[in-house]
Amino acid sequence: MEAVEAPVSIKRLNDDQLLHVQWRDGAEFWLPLVELRAECGCAHCVDEMTGQRLIDISDIDPEITIKELKLVGNYCVKIYWSDGHNTGLFTWELLRRLCDRA
């Protein structure tokens, strides 16, 4: 499987509750923040042994925002959420999959 290249642009649109992602192939998507937060794959959000999701989308603050985005290497972005969560890494592959599903 071919690696997914980094997006051209990632912008938080907190007033609209969206993350705007633009890809090199010209595709652009607006991901709802609540749904994006629910996709975190860290050990706090997904059981490492069973893969069972530990966070339910209904438990996420509908007014959640992104406080900060930080690039990690050349393969993902770390999101600092307004609910204090910041341990998840959103790889380019995950972001593209979420975008294509949107």
Distances (CA, A) of 95 to 3, 6, 38, 49, 50: 12, 10, 13, 23, 23
With a cut of 60, say whether residue 1 has pLDDT above it.
no
Confidence label for 45 from pLDDT (cuts 50, 70 and 90):
very high
Spatial distance between the Cα atoms of 24 and 39, rounded to a whole number of angstroms: 23
Question: In the chain, what are the domains?
Answer: 9-101 (3.30.2020.30)
The gap from C-alpha 57 to its chain's centroid, in whole angstroms, comes to 14
Pick from 3, 2, 1: nearest CA to 75 = 3
Neighbours of 63 (CB within 10 A): 11
Whole-prediction pTM: 0.90
What is the mean pLDDT of the segment spanning 24-45? Answer: 94
Distances (CA, A) of 55 to 15, 44, 73: 24, 8, 27
Confidence label for 102 from pLDDT (cuts 50, 70 and 90):
confident
